[in-house]
Amino acid sequence: MTELLTAAQMRAIEQAAIESGEVTGLELMERAGRGVVEAIFEEWPGLRATSHRAVVLCGPGNNGGDGFVVARLLKEWGWDVEVFLFGDPDKLPPDARTNYDRWLPLGPVEPLSIESGLVALESGSDVVVDALFGTGLARPVDLMPLFGAIYELREWSTEGQLKRPTHVVAIDLPSGLCSDSGKPIGEPTNKATECAAAHAHLTVSFHREKAGHRLSEGPAQCGKTVVADIGLGSRRGTGIEARLADGSEQRLGKFLGHKYTHGHAVILSGGPGKTGAARLAARGALRIGAGLVTLAGPQSALAEIARQVTAVMCRSLDGAPGLREMLEDARFNALCLGPGMGLGPDTQALVVEALKAKRGTVLDADALTRFERNPEALFEILHKNCVLTPHAGEFKRLFPDIAEKLEAPATTGPAYSKVDATREAAARAGCTVLFKGPDTVIADQTGRCSISSSAYERAAPWLATAGAGDVLAGFITGLLARGFGPMQAAETAAWLHTECALSFGPGLIAEDLAEELPKVFRRLLEPPA
C-alpha cells in the first residue's frame, strides 16, 4: 500500500521535521529543486547536454521558491533560463525570498502577467517549469488564459505540431489544481483559450503523492507523476491508502485446501435474455478462487444459463421464498445480487431476503437502482458484511445529496473530493462502498479508505466496456466466499480487475477479464528471481 497525503498532512510532516531540528525549510526547498532537475534529466536524458532553454514561472509562495532553485541549478548547468514572478518579491516567504536573492546574480526576474507569460511561452523553449501554485492553493487565480496557453503548449508538443517541442514540468502539481480532490479550482469556462488549471507532461511531487494526483482530473492534467525524495524518511501522515501496482502473494492468499474451504458463492440471475451479466459475475467469482459457484435464477432462464456454463452450477430460484430456503444451507457464504436482475419488485424482495442472512453480500447494478426512490429503505437493512459497487450514476441515485457536493465546481480548496464522498456514503450505508471509475475509491463504515488507481502506468481505458463491472462484482463475491473481509475483498478485486485489463491489453471485452486471471496469478505467485 502506498500512502497518499492531503496538503494539510504534507505541511504537518514538513513542519514536524523542521521543528525537530532535522532539517531547515531552506534545505527542504533546495532538495525539492534538485529533485525536479533530476526528474527532468531522468525523463528526458537528452536535456543533460547544455545549450537548452527554460522558462520558469514562479508564484508568490514556497512553490515559487522551488522554482527559483530549479532556475539556478539549470543556469549553473549551462542553460539559458528566463524567470518570471507572479507577485511582489517583497512579500515572498522567507525561504522563497532567499532563493529569489540567490538567483538575481545569475539573471533578472521579470514580472509575470498574462501578456508577458504568453509572450514567453510563444518564444519557444525546451522546458517550461510551472512553479506558480502548489499544494497550498485554496482559491481561484486570475491566470486562466495563461493556464490555457500551457495546456495548448503541452498538447501541441505531445502531438508533434511544434518544430521545437516544449516539455512542461509542474512542481507539486499543475497550478490551479486542488491537491486534495484533483479538481481545478475555479468556475468552469467554455472559452477554448482558458483553463482553470495548467497541464503538464511531467509532475514532480515530494515525499509522497497527493490525493489529487490520483483523483478526478488530476492524472490527465499531471501527465506523469514522479516522487522526489527530499529527506523526510518514513514520516507518515494519517493518509489515504492507495492501491497501486504492488501485487503480492500475501494479498492474494494461498490457494490451498479443497473446494469447500474456499466457500460457495451464489450469483442471482435475471430472466430469459438477461442472464449474461450474472454469468460474467459467476465466471469472475469462480476464476478468482471461490470453491463453488452457483447461478440461481428463474426456472424459465435455467436452460439458457445451463447452455452457457459448465463449472458453474445452476439452480432454480422461486423468488424471495426460494432464496430464504436456499440460504438455510450455511455453506452458501457469499452472495451477489444486481447484474441483469431487472428493476421489478422481485429484485427488491430478493435483496431484502439476502440481507437478512447477514452473509458477505455484493449489491451492484439493478440491486442498487431498485432503491432509487427510497434509499433509506436499503440503508436500514444493510450490514457490515455488504459491499456496494455503484458507478457514478448509481451513486447519484442512492446518495443524491453527496453526489451534488461532489459535482459542484471547486470554487475554493481543499475541494470536496471523491474520497470525501465515498467515506460519507460508507458511513451512511454502514458498509463498504466501492465507487467505480478510473479513480475507484473504496471506503468502509469506519472511515478506512483506499484508491484503486487506473492511471499513469496503470491506465487501461479499454476497461470501459460493457460487462466489466459485472466481472468486478463477481471478483469481490468470490473473494468474500474465500473468507476475505469486505474492505479487503473490494480492494483486492479492484486491483486485480485493472491488472487483468493491463495483461490483456486493447481489444478487451468483459469475457476476457476472468480468463486473464490465471496469467496474472501465475506472475504474482512466481518466486522472486
Per-residue pLDDT of the chain (529 residues; tens, 9 = 90+): 788 999 999 999 999 999 999 999 999 999 999 999 999 999 999 999 878 999 999 999 999 999 999 999 999 999 999 999 999 999 999 999 999 999 999 999 999 999 999 999 999 999 999 999 999 899 999 899 999 999 999 999 998 888 889 999 999 999 999 999 999 998 776 666 688 899 999 999 999 999 999 999 999 999 999 999 999 987 777 667 665 434 443 355 555 454 567 899 999 999 999 999 999 999 999 999 999 999 999 999 989 988 888 899 999 998 999 999 999 999 999 999 999 999 999 999 999 999 999 999 999 999 999 999 999 999 999 999 999 999 999 999 999 999 999 999 999 989 999 999 999 999 999 999 999 999 999 999 999 999 999 999 999 999 999 999 999 999 999 999 999 999 999 999 999 999 999 999 999 999 999 999 999 999 888 776 6
Does a structural domain hold residue 304? yes
Q: Where are the beta strands (DSSP E) in 377-511?
A: 386-388, 432-435, 439-443, 449-453
Residue 529 lies in a domain: no
The H or E element containing residue 296 is strand 292-297
- How far is it, in rounded angstroms, from Cα 100 to Cα 119? 22
Chosen domain end from 242, 265, 293: 242
Q: What CATH number has the domain bearing residue 342?
A: 3.40.1190.20
- Considering the domain architecture, whether residues 289 and 232 belong to the same structural domain is answered as no
State whether 163 and 279 are in the same domain: no
Is there a domain that residue 111 lies in?
Answer: yes
> Is 69 within a domain?
yes
Residues 314 and 438 in one domain: yes
As a residue count, the chain comes to: 529
343 and 409, same structural domain? yes
Both 286 and 419 in one domain: the answer is yes
CATH number at residue 191: 3.40.50.10260
Q: Which structural domain range is residue 115 located in?
A: 2-242
**251 occurs within a structural domain:** no
> Distance of CA 383 to CAs 124, 177, 346, 362, 433, Å?
60, 37, 21, 11, 12
How many domains does the chain contain in total?
2
Spatial distance between the Cα atoms of 127 and 150, rounded to a whole number of angstroms: 11
Cβ neighbors of 100 (< 8 A, separation 6 or more) are: 58, 64, 65, 68, 85, 89, 92, 109
Residues 196 and 174 both lie in one domain: yes
217 shares its domain with 150:
yes
Tell whether 236 and 298 lie within a shared domain: no
Domain match, 360 and 306 both:
yes
Helix (H) or strand (E) holding 281: helix 276-287
Among candidate residues 242, 268, 288, the one where a domain is terminated: 242
Is there a single domain that holds both residue 209 and residue 287? no
Q: What is the dihedral of CA 471, 272, 305, 326, to 10 degrees?
A: 90
Residues 224 and 260 in one domain: no
How many beta carbons lie within 10 A of that of residue 288, not counting itself? 30
Asked if 198 and 170 sit in the same domain, the reply is yes
Place of cell 486491483: 495
The SS3 assignment for 442 reads strand
The reported pTM is 0.93
Q: What is the 3-state secondary structure (H, E, C) of 206-262?
A: ECCCEHHHCCCCHHHHHCCEEEECCCCCCCCCCCEEEECCCCCHHHHCCCCCCHHHH
Residue 249 lies in a domain: no
